[in-house]
């Protein structure tokens, strides 16, 4: 039997505790062997509480360790580039949280370095391993709604109740909800439609005039093959996610479509009538992502969210932020 891929988390925090620890516990192909976080007292407590073997004193020590096969980077957005390049310099495979960088230029550099080193580099776009997106993508591929024409993805959440205070600091975060969860919406639409984004027009509001990042936003996007798409995000409302794809012959609707905490009812409608339904659960999405990364590292099988692909998401974010600044529609480079 192939030995599990040994991961260490660089930038251990709430996301790691809430999502990744349960996923590693249930993954048959990976093992969490170490972590580093800036607060060393908290790091030692985490290692003891969760029975993690190695509590590293620095990112350099973590990346250099022969006990680590792959580094999972969950640090703030602005640190993703330097943390990824550090891990790659030490010959480690990298799985990096989204948004993968602060802009597309950084994302390109990271992908180029990984390619030159011949190292596996993926992005934790975990929704690509959700059954809900698989169902929508398969329905579209099967022609069940005809030619896609309109698309909508929404992700709203109450950021003011979250402990990630750095998310409102533009020196650490790639924007507000546009970068934090809008990138999930952008990636989800690219994935299910198998199309790219050509241009974006952004409307956004701040909660307070002195805020440095947006609180709510709407991105109007023109995609290839003429699909018109809309991404709406908010960091100051109750939690909600939604995916809708309208085609020439029908519509696919997934309330809670980007949700991992509860079952999701999927609906295919034609002419107002429900013609097909499915109920799926995305609870194993993180596990599937980790196991797929392990398969890619051990066997060379494809990983669904590559560092190269992430450049498209970052180029879309660049255009979205530029459009908010200029007030004009901006092309996606």
Q: Where are the beta strands (DSSP E) in 170-285?
A: 197-205, 216-223, 228-234, 236-247, 251-255, 264-270, 273-280
Residue 21 shares a structural domain with residue 79 = yes
Q: Is residue 116 domain-shared with residue 134, that is, in the same domain?
A: no
> Are 104 and 252 found together in one domain?
no
CATH number of the domain residue 148 falls in: 3.30.360.10
Quick one: pLDDT band at residue 9, thresholds 50, 70, 90?
A: very high
Specify burial of residue 192 (Cβ count, 10 A radius: 0-12, 13-18, 19+): buried
Percent of the chain at pLDDT exceeding 70? 99
Which H or E element spans position 149?
strand 148-158
pLDDT tens-digit map of 179-238? 999 999 999 999 999 999 999 999 999 999 999 999 999 999 999 999 999 999 999 999
Query: Number of folded domains in the chain?
Result: 2
Residues 188, 326: one domain? yes
Tell me phi and psi for residue 63, to 5 degrees.
-70, -25
Indicate if 273 and 300 belong to the same structural domain.
no
Residues 296 and 251 in one domain: no
CATH (domain of 63) = 3.40.50.720
Q: With respect to residue 309, please indicate whether it lies within any of the assigned structural domains.
A: no
Residues linked to residue 254 through DSSP beta bridges, in sequence order: 243, 266
Are residues 263 and 278 both part of a single domain? Answer: yes
Q: Indicate whether 102 and 151 sit together in one domain.
A: no
- Domain span including residue 231: 130-282+314-331
Q: Which residues pair with 204 in a beta bridge?
A: 217
Task: Note whether 211 and 172 are same-domain residues.
Answer: yes
pLDDT in tens, 95-119: 999 999 999 999 999 999 999 999 9
Per-residue pLDDT reduced to its tens digit, 119-173: 999 999 999 999 999 999 999 999 999 999 999 999 999 987 766 778 889 999 9
Tokens of 95: 């799985």
* First-to-last C-alpha distance (Å) of the chain: 45
Q: Tell me the DSSP string of 12-80.
A: --HHIIIIIHHHHHH-SSEEEEEEE-S-HHHHHHHHHHHT-SEE-SSHHHHHH-TT-SEEEE-S-GGGH
Same domain for 170 and 102, yes or no, is: no
**pTM, entire model:** 0.96
184 and 73 both lie in a single domain: no
């Amino acid at each position: 039997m192939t030995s599990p891929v040994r991961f260490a988390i660089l930038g251990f925090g709430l996301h790691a505790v809430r999502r990744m620890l349960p996923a590693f516990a249930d993954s048959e192909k990976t093992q969490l062997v170490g972590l580093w976080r800036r607060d060393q007292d908290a790091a030692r407590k985490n290692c003891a509480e969760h029975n993690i073997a190695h509590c590293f004193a620095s990112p350099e020590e973590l990346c250099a360790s022969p006990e680590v096969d792959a580094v999972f980077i969950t640090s703030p957005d602005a640190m993703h580039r330097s943390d990824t390049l550090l891990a790659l310099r030490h010959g480690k495979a990298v799985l990096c949280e989204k948004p993968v960088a602060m802009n597309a230029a950084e994302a390109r550099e990271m992908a180029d370095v990984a390619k030159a080193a011949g190292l596996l580099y993926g992005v934790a776009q975990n929704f690509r391993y959700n059954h809900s997106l698989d169902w929508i993508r398969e329905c579209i591929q099967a022609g069940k709604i005809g030619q896609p024409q309109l698309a909508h993805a929404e992700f709203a959440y109450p950021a003011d109740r979250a402990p990630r205070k750095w998310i409102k600091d533009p020196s650490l975060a790639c924007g507000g909800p546009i970068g934090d969860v809008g990138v999930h919406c952008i990636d989800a639409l690219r994935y299910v439609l198998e199309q790219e984004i050509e241009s974006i027009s952004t409307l956004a509001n701040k909660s307070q005039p002195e805020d440095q990042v947006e609180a709510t936003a709407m991105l109007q996007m023109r995609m290839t093959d003429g699909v018109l798409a809309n991404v709406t995000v908010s960091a100051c409302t109750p939690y909600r996610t939604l995916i809708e794809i309208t085609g020439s012959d029908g519509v696919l609707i997934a309330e809670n479509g980007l949700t991992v905490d509860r079952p999701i009812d999927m609906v295919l409608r034609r002419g107002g009538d429900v013609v097909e339904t499915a109920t799926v659960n995305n609870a194993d999405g993180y596990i599937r992502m980790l196991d797929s990364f392990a398969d890619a590292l051990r066997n060379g099988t494809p990983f669904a969210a590559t560092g190269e692909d992430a450049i498209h998401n970052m180029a879309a974010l660049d255009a979205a932020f530029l459009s908010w600044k200029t007030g004009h529609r901006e092309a996606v480079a």
